Amino acid sequence: MRGIRKSMDNQNRSSVLQWLIPTGIMMVVVIGMLLSFSSKSNKEAEASVSRTLISSAEGYGDRFLHELQKVSKVGETIGKMIEKEGAQDSARMTELLGVAAECAGVQKVLYSSADGTAVDQTGASLEIGQESWFEQVGIGEFPYVYAAEEQSVVVVKRVGHDAVQGYLMLYYPMERFGEMLMQSGYDSTSFLVVVDLEGNILGVSGASTNACLKDGNIFKAVEGENKENARTLRNRLNNSSRGSVDIQTGKQVQVLTSVPLGTNRWSLILGVSESYAERQANYLRKNTSDMILSLIIVIAVFFCVVMVINIVGKIRSNEKKKELEDKADTDLLTGLNNKLATERKIKDYMAQNPSKQSMMFILDIDNFKKINDTMGHAFGD
Protein backbone atom coordinates (compact mmCIF):
# COMPACT_ATOMS: atom_id res chain seq x y z
CA MET A 1 0.00 0.00 0.00
CA ARG A 2 2.86 2.36 0.77
CA GLY A 3 4.25 1.73 -2.70
CA ILE A 4 0.87 2.50 -4.24
CA ARG A 5 0.55 5.70 -2.19
CA LYS A 6 4.07 6.80 -3.13
CA SER A 7 3.39 6.08 -6.79
CA MET A 8 0.21 8.19 -6.68
CA ASP A 9 2.08 11.08 -4.98
CA ASN A 10 4.76 10.96 -7.68
CA GLN A 11 2.10 11.01 -10.39
CA ASN A 12 0.39 14.05 -8.82
CA ARG A 13 3.70 15.87 -8.46
CA SER A 14 4.64 15.07 -12.04
CA SER A 15 1.24 16.24 -13.28
CA VAL A 16 1.60 19.56 -11.45
CA LEU A 17 5.11 20.13 -12.78
CA GLN A 18 3.98 19.42 -16.34
CA TRP A 19 1.88 22.60 -16.43
CA LEU A 20 3.56 24.64 -13.67
CA ILE A 21 7.02 24.75 -15.28
CA PRO A 22 5.82 25.87 -18.78
CA THR A 23 3.48 28.40 -17.17
CA GLY A 24 6.30 29.80 -15.03
CA ILE A 25 8.65 30.03 -18.02
CA MET A 26 5.95 31.74 -20.08
CA MET A 27 5.32 34.31 -17.33
CA VAL A 28 9.04 35.06 -16.95
CA VAL A 29 9.37 35.55 -20.73
CA VAL A 30 6.27 37.77 -20.91
CA ILE A 31 7.38 39.92 -17.96
CA GLY A 32 10.86 40.22 -19.50
CA MET A 33 9.33 41.34 -22.79
CA LEU A 34 7.16 43.90 -20.97
CA LEU A 35 10.16 45.30 -19.10
CA SER A 36 12.14 45.53 -22.35
CA PHE A 37 9.20 47.23 -24.05
CA SER A 38 8.90 49.65 -21.13
CA SER A 39 12.60 50.55 -21.40
CA LYS A 40 12.30 51.13 -25.16
CA SER A 41 9.15 53.20 -24.61
CA ASN A 42 10.95 55.40 -22.09
CA LYS A 43 13.77 56.04 -24.56
CA GLU A 44 11.29 56.72 -27.35
CA ALA A 45 9.40 59.19 -25.13
CA GLU A 46 12.64 61.08 -24.43
CA ALA A 47 13.50 61.07 -28.14
CA SER A 48 9.98 62.31 -28.95
CA VAL A 49 10.34 65.20 -26.49
CA SER A 50 13.68 66.09 -28.10
CA ARG A 51 12.08 66.04 -31.57
CA THR A 52 9.24 68.23 -30.29
CA LEU A 53 11.69 70.76 -28.84
CA ILE A 54 13.64 70.80 -32.11
CA SER A 55 10.43 71.32 -34.09
CA SER A 56 9.36 74.10 -31.73
CA ALA A 57 12.74 75.84 -32.01
CA GLU A 58 12.61 75.58 -35.80
CA GLY A 59 9.14 77.13 -35.71
CA TYR A 60 10.45 80.10 -33.74
CA GLY A 61 13.38 80.35 -36.15
CA ASP A 62 11.01 80.47 -39.13
CA ARG A 63 9.01 83.25 -37.45
CA PHE A 64 12.16 85.27 -36.80
CA LEU A 65 13.44 84.84 -40.37
CA HIS A 66 10.00 85.74 -41.70
CA GLU A 67 10.21 89.03 -39.79
CA LEU A 68 13.63 89.77 -41.26
CA GLN A 69 12.48 88.83 -44.76
CA LYS A 70 9.54 91.24 -44.53
CA VAL A 71 11.96 94.02 -43.67
CA SER A 72 14.29 92.82 -46.44
CA LYS A 73 11.54 93.00 -49.08
CA VAL A 74 10.78 96.59 -48.14
CA GLY A 75 14.47 97.39 -48.35
CA GLU A 76 14.74 95.75 -51.76
CA THR A 77 11.87 97.85 -53.14
CA ILE A 78 13.16 101.14 -51.71
CA GLY A 79 16.72 100.27 -52.77
CA LYS A 80 15.63 99.90 -56.39
CA MET A 81 13.90 103.27 -56.23
CA ILE A 82 17.03 104.93 -54.84
CA GLU A 83 19.14 103.23 -57.49
CA LYS A 84 16.81 104.54 -60.19
CA GLU A 85 16.34 108.08 -58.86
CA GLY A 86 19.80 108.62 -57.39
CA ALA A 87 20.77 109.97 -53.97
CA GLN A 88 21.39 113.61 -54.86
CA ASP A 89 18.01 114.96 -53.73
CA SER A 90 18.24 114.94 -49.91
CA ALA A 91 14.54 115.72 -49.46
CA ARG A 92 13.54 112.83 -51.69
CA MET A 93 16.03 110.56 -49.92
CA THR A 94 14.54 111.47 -46.54
CA GLU A 95 11.07 110.77 -47.90
CA LEU A 96 12.06 107.34 -49.24
CA LEU A 97 13.79 106.39 -45.98
CA GLY A 98 10.68 107.43 -44.04
CA VAL A 99 8.49 105.26 -46.27
CA ALA A 100 10.89 102.35 -45.70
CA ALA A 101 10.75 102.79 -41.91
CA GLU A 102 6.95 102.94 -41.91
CA CYS A 103 6.41 99.97 -44.23
CA ALA A 104 9.01 97.78 -42.49
CA GLY A 105 7.79 98.73 -39.02
CA VAL A 106 11.26 99.73 -37.81
CA GLN A 107 12.48 102.81 -35.98
CA LYS A 108 15.70 103.43 -37.87
CA VAL A 109 16.65 103.38 -41.56
CA LEU A 110 19.93 104.67 -42.99
CA TYR A 111 21.36 105.28 -46.40
CA SER A 112 25.14 105.20 -46.36
CA SER A 113 27.85 105.78 -48.88
CA ALA A 114 30.68 103.28 -49.19
CA ASP A 115 32.86 105.30 -46.78
CA GLY A 116 30.27 105.28 -43.97
CA THR A 117 28.75 108.75 -44.38
CA ALA A 118 25.05 108.22 -43.78
CA VAL A 119 21.68 109.93 -43.43
CA ASP A 120 18.65 108.59 -41.56
CA GLN A 121 14.90 108.91 -42.21
CA THR A 122 14.76 112.18 -40.26
CA GLY A 123 17.38 113.78 -42.50
CA ALA A 124 20.08 113.71 -39.81
CA SER A 125 23.63 112.98 -40.92
CA LEU A 126 25.62 110.21 -39.23
CA GLU A 127 29.10 108.74 -39.47
CA ILE A 128 29.05 104.94 -39.19
CA GLY A 129 32.29 104.08 -40.96
CA GLN A 130 34.05 103.45 -37.64
CA GLU A 131 31.40 101.10 -36.26
CA SER A 132 32.75 97.59 -35.55
CA TRP A 133 30.15 95.98 -37.77
CA PHE A 134 30.45 98.31 -40.79
CA GLU A 135 33.34 96.33 -42.26
CA GLN A 136 31.01 93.33 -42.61
CA VAL A 137 28.62 95.53 -44.61
CA GLY A 138 31.38 96.18 -47.12
CA ILE A 139 32.32 92.51 -47.35
CA GLY A 140 28.72 91.61 -48.11
CA GLU A 141 29.09 87.93 -47.17
CA PHE A 142 25.75 87.83 -45.34
CA PRO A 143 22.45 89.68 -45.82
CA TYR A 144 22.29 90.69 -42.15
CA VAL A 145 24.71 92.33 -39.74
CA TYR A 146 24.35 92.52 -35.97
CA ALA A 147 24.89 95.96 -34.44
CA ALA A 148 25.60 95.29 -30.76
CA GLU A 149 25.40 98.95 -29.70
CA GLU A 150 21.96 99.28 -31.25
CA GLN A 151 20.90 95.73 -30.22
CA SER A 152 19.53 95.39 -33.72
CA VAL A 153 19.92 93.22 -36.76
CA VAL A 154 20.80 95.47 -39.68
CA VAL A 155 19.18 94.38 -42.94
CA VAL A 156 21.60 95.53 -45.65
CA LYS A 157 20.65 96.23 -49.28
CA ARG A 158 23.42 97.13 -51.70
CA VAL A 159 22.40 99.96 -54.03
CA GLY A 160 23.94 99.91 -57.49
CA HIS A 161 26.27 97.33 -58.99
CA ASP A 162 28.72 96.21 -56.29
CA ALA A 163 27.24 98.92 -54.04
CA VAL A 164 28.70 101.68 -56.20
CA GLN A 165 26.00 104.06 -54.98
CA GLY A 166 25.87 102.92 -51.35
CA TYR A 167 23.99 100.84 -48.80
CA LEU A 168 20.41 100.93 -47.57
CA MET A 169 20.27 99.69 -43.97
CA LEU A 170 17.11 98.90 -42.01
CA TYR A 171 17.52 98.28 -38.26
CA TYR A 172 15.36 95.43 -36.95
CA PRO A 173 15.23 95.84 -33.13
CA MET A 174 15.88 92.58 -31.28
CA GLU A 175 13.45 93.66 -28.57
CA ARG A 176 10.77 92.49 -30.99
CA PHE A 177 12.41 89.07 -30.93
CA GLY A 178 11.96 89.21 -27.15
CA GLU A 179 8.21 88.80 -27.64
CA MET A 180 8.56 85.32 -29.18
CA LEU A 181 7.93 83.33 -25.97
CA MET A 182 5.25 85.57 -24.51
CA GLN A 183 2.38 83.28 -25.57
CA SER A 184 4.26 79.97 -25.29
CA GLY A 185 3.37 77.08 -23.02
CA TYR A 186 6.86 76.86 -21.52
CA ASP A 187 7.59 77.54 -17.86
CA SER A 188 8.99 80.80 -16.52
CA THR A 189 12.62 79.58 -16.63
CA SER A 190 12.55 78.91 -20.38
CA PHE A 191 14.41 81.11 -22.85
CA LEU A 192 15.03 81.51 -26.57
CA VAL A 193 18.23 83.08 -27.92
CA VAL A 194 19.90 83.86 -31.22
CA VAL A 195 23.64 83.16 -31.11
CA ASP A 196 26.55 83.36 -33.51
CA LEU A 197 29.27 80.72 -33.95
CA GLU A 198 31.17 82.01 -30.92
CA GLY A 199 28.14 81.73 -28.68
CA ASN A 200 27.60 85.49 -28.47
CA ILE A 201 23.96 86.19 -27.66
CA LEU A 202 22.32 88.49 -30.22
CA GLY A 203 18.78 88.44 -28.86
CA VAL A 204 16.85 86.97 -25.92
CA SER A 205 13.22 86.02 -25.42
CA GLY A 206 11.95 84.68 -22.12
CA ALA A 207 14.02 84.33 -18.93
CA SER A 208 16.83 86.78 -19.73
CA THR A 209 18.33 86.29 -16.23
CA ASN A 210 18.81 82.54 -16.74
CA ALA A 211 22.26 81.34 -15.64
CA CYS A 212 22.93 79.97 -19.15
CA LEU A 213 22.88 83.52 -20.53
CA LYS A 214 25.37 85.02 -18.10
CA ASP A 215 27.81 87.61 -19.53
CA GLY A 216 26.18 87.52 -22.96
CA ASN A 217 27.94 84.35 -24.15
CA ILE A 218 26.33 80.96 -23.78
CA PHE A 219 29.58 78.99 -23.95
CA LYS A 220 31.27 80.99 -21.21
CA ALA A 221 28.19 80.54 -19.03
CA VAL A 222 27.94 76.75 -19.30
CA GLU A 223 31.42 75.38 -20.08
CA GLY A 224 32.59 75.42 -16.44
CA GLU A 225 30.28 72.62 -15.27
CA ASN A 226 29.50 71.03 -18.65
CA LYS A 227 32.67 70.69 -20.69
CA GLU A 228 31.56 67.66 -22.73
CA ASN A 229 28.01 68.82 -23.42
CA ALA A 230 29.23 72.37 -24.11
CA ARG A 231 31.64 70.90 -26.68
CA THR A 232 28.74 68.97 -28.23
CA LEU A 233 26.70 72.18 -28.41
CA ARG A 234 29.59 74.08 -30.01
CA ASN A 235 30.10 71.33 -32.60
CA ARG A 236 26.43 71.43 -33.52
CA LEU A 237 26.59 75.17 -34.05
CA ASN A 238 29.71 74.82 -36.19
CA ASN A 239 28.18 72.01 -38.24
CA SER A 240 24.75 73.66 -38.54
CA SER A 241 23.15 70.55 -37.03
CA ARG A 242 20.32 70.25 -34.53
CA GLY A 243 19.85 68.43 -31.23
CA SER A 244 19.44 68.69 -27.46
CA VAL A 245 21.92 68.54 -24.57
CA ASP A 246 21.52 68.59 -20.79
CA ILE A 247 23.26 71.50 -19.06
CA GLN A 248 23.91 71.73 -15.31
CA THR A 249 23.83 75.25 -13.85
CA GLY A 250 24.22 75.13 -10.09
CA LYS A 251 21.50 72.83 -8.76
CA GLN A 252 19.38 73.16 -11.88
CA VAL A 253 19.50 70.99 -14.99
CA GLN A 254 18.28 72.49 -18.25
CA VAL A 255 17.75 71.08 -21.72
CA LEU A 256 19.25 73.24 -24.49
CA THR A 257 17.96 72.57 -28.01
CA SER A 258 19.84 74.17 -30.89
CA VAL A 259 18.80 74.56 -34.54
CA PRO A 260 20.50 76.45 -37.38
CA LEU A 261 18.73 79.56 -38.65
CA GLY A 262 20.02 79.04 -42.16
CA THR A 263 21.50 82.52 -42.50
CA ASN A 264 24.65 84.28 -41.29
CA ARG A 265 25.68 80.98 -39.63
CA TRP A 266 23.49 81.98 -36.71
CA SER A 267 21.65 79.47 -34.58
CA LEU A 268 18.60 79.50 -32.35
CA ILE A 269 18.76 77.88 -28.90
CA LEU A 270 15.67 76.98 -26.90
CA GLY A 271 16.29 76.32 -23.21
CA VAL A 272 13.76 74.58 -20.93
CA SER A 273 14.06 73.09 -17.45
CA GLU A 274 14.66 69.36 -17.11
CA SER A 275 11.46 69.13 -15.04
CA TYR A 276 9.47 70.51 -17.98
CA ALA A 277 11.02 67.99 -20.39
CA GLU A 278 10.39 65.19 -17.87
CA ARG A 279 6.73 66.16 -17.52
CA GLN A 280 6.33 66.00 -21.28
CA ALA A 281 8.04 62.59 -21.40
CA ASN A 282 5.85 61.28 -18.57
CA TYR A 283 2.76 62.43 -20.45
CA LEU A 284 3.90 60.47 -23.51
CA ARG A 285 4.77 57.44 -21.37
CA LYS A 286 1.44 57.45 -19.53
CA ASN A 287 -0.54 55.34 -22.02
CA THR A 288 2.27 52.82 -22.33
CA SER A 289 2.72 52.63 -18.56
CA ASP A 290 -1.00 52.12 -18.05
CA MET A 291 -1.04 49.35 -20.66
CA ILE A 292 1.95 47.57 -19.10
CA LEU A 293 0.40 47.86 -15.63
CA SER A 294 -2.86 46.39 -16.94
CA LEU A 295 -1.00 43.48 -18.54
CA ILE A 296 0.93 42.79 -15.33
CA ILE A 297 -2.34 42.79 -13.36
CA VAL A 298 -3.91 40.38 -15.88
CA ILE A 299 -0.88 38.08 -15.64
CA ALA A 300 -0.98 38.20 -11.83
CA VAL A 301 -4.70 37.39 -11.81
CA PHE A 302 -4.11 34.55 -14.28
CA PHE A 303 -1.36 33.12 -12.08
CA CYS A 304 -3.57 33.39 -8.97
CA VAL A 305 -6.44 31.64 -10.77
CA VAL A 306 -4.09 28.86 -11.87
CA MET A 307 -2.81 28.48 -8.31
CA VAL A 308 -6.35 28.36 -6.90
CA ILE A 309 -7.36 25.76 -9.49
CA ASN A 310 -4.25 23.75 -8.62
CA ILE A 311 -4.92 23.91 -4.87
CA VAL A 312 -8.59 23.00 -5.25
CA GLY A 313 -7.65 20.17 -7.59
CA LYS A 314 -5.05 18.91 -5.15
CA ILE A 315 -7.54 18.99 -2.26
CA ARG A 316 -10.05 17.02 -4.29
CA SER A 317 -7.35 14.62 -5.40
CA ASN A 318 -6.32 14.02 -1.80
CA GLU A 319 -9.93 13.44 -0.78
CA LYS A 320 -10.35 10.96 -3.63
CA LYS A 321 -7.09 9.27 -2.74
CA LYS A 322 -8.15 9.00 0.92
CA GLU A 323 -11.46 7.51 -0.16
CA LEU A 324 -9.70 4.93 -2.33
CA GLU A 325 -7.26 4.10 0.46
CA ASP A 326 -10.14 3.58 2.89
CA LYS A 327 -11.89 1.28 0.43
CA ALA A 328 -8.68 -0.65 -0.10
CA ASP A 329 -8.13 -1.05 3.66
CA THR A 330 -11.63 -2.21 4.66
CA ASP A 331 -14.14 -4.87 3.88
CA LEU A 332 -16.90 -3.25 1.85
CA LEU A 333 -19.65 -5.20 3.64
CA THR A 334 -18.52 -5.10 7.26
CA GLY A 335 -16.44 -1.93 7.21
CA LEU A 336 -13.71 -3.68 9.20
CA ASN A 337 -10.00 -3.58 8.36
CA ASN A 338 -8.88 -6.39 6.13
CA LYS A 339 -5.84 -8.56 6.71
CA LEU A 340 -3.36 -6.31 4.86
CA ALA A 341 -4.57 -3.15 6.58
CA THR A 342 -4.44 -4.86 9.95
CA GLU A 343 -0.88 -6.02 9.37
CA ARG A 344 0.18 -2.57 8.20
CA LYS A 345 -1.33 -0.80 11.18
CA ILE A 346 0.30 -3.24 13.57
CA LYS A 347 3.69 -2.69 11.91
CA ASP A 348 3.17 1.10 11.90
CA TYR A 349 2.32 1.07 15.60
CA MET A 350 5.37 -1.03 16.41
CA ALA A 351 7.60 1.26 14.34
CA GLN A 352 6.24 4.38 16.02
CA ASN A 353 6.39 2.90 19.54
CA PRO A 354 9.50 0.70 19.62
CA SER A 355 9.99 1.00 23.41
CA LYS A 356 6.42 0.24 24.40
CA GLN A 357 4.97 -3.15 25.14
CA SER A 358 1.80 -4.28 23.47
CA MET A 359 -0.65 -7.17 23.50
CA MET A 360 -2.59 -8.53 20.57
CA PHE A 361 -5.80 -10.56 20.83
CA ILE A 362 -6.79 -12.83 17.97
CA LEU A 363 -10.46 -13.75 18.11
CA ASP A 364 -11.71 -16.37 15.70
CA ILE A 365 -15.50 -16.15 15.39
CA ASP A 366 -16.86 -19.45 14.07
CA ASN A 367 -15.17 -21.26 11.28
CA PHE A 368 -15.73 -18.78 8.45
CA LYS A 369 -13.40 -20.53 6.06
CA LYS A 370 -15.36 -23.78 6.31
CA ILE A 371 -18.69 -21.96 6.05
CA ASN A 372 -17.46 -19.94 3.03
CA ASP A 373 -16.10 -23.06 1.36
CA THR A 374 -19.18 -25.22 1.94
CA MET A 375 -22.05 -22.77 1.99
CA GLY A 376 -20.74 -19.80 -0.01
CA HIS A 377 -19.37 -16.32 0.79
CA ALA A 378 -22.77 -14.67 0.83
CA PHE A 379 -23.94 -16.96 3.63
CA GLY A 380 -20.65 -16.58 5.47
CA ASP A 381 -20.88 -12.76 5.35
Contact 111, 87 (CB under 8 A): yes
Distance from C-alpha of 95 to C-alpha of 91, rounded to nearest angstrom: 6
Confidence of residue 255 (pLDDT cuts 50, 70, 90): very high
Rounded Cα distance between 31 and 8, Å, is: 34
> Do 111 and 105 touch, CB atoms closer than 8 A?
no
CB atoms within 10 A of CB 294: 10
d(CA 153, CA 143): 10
Q: Determine the 3-state secondary structure of 234 from DSSP.
A: helix
CATH 3.30.450.20 residue ranges in the chain? 1-72+174-306, 86-172
Distance of alpha carbon 29 from alpha carbon 267, whole angstroms? 48
Asked: is 1-72+174-306 a CATH 3.30.450.20 domain? The reply is yes
Sort residue 265 into left (φ over 0), alpha (ψ -120 to 50) or beta: left
Q: In this structure, are residues 197 and 237 in contact, taking their beta carbons and an 8 Å threshold? A: yes
Q: For the chain, what percent of residues have pLDDT higher than 70?
A: 88
Question: Mean pLDDT across the stretch 40-45?
Answer: 74
Separation in Å, CA 286 to CA 187, 276, 290, 312: 21, 15, 6, 39
- State pLDDT tens for residues 76-130: 999 999 988 888 889 999 999 999 999 999 999 999 998 899 999 999 999 998 9
Assess contact for 204 and 178: CB atoms under 8 A.
Answer: yes
CATH of domain 86-172: 3.30.450.20
Dihedral angle at the C-alpha atoms of 10, 14, 17, 19, nearest 10 degrees? -140
Mean of all residue pLDDT scores within the chain: 83
Q: Are strands 267-273 and 191-195 parallel, antiparallel or unpaired?
A: antiparallel
Residues paired with 204 in a beta bridge: 193
What band does 3 get if pLDDT is binned at 50, 70 and 90? Answer: very low
Q: Give residue 117's pLDDT.
A: 92
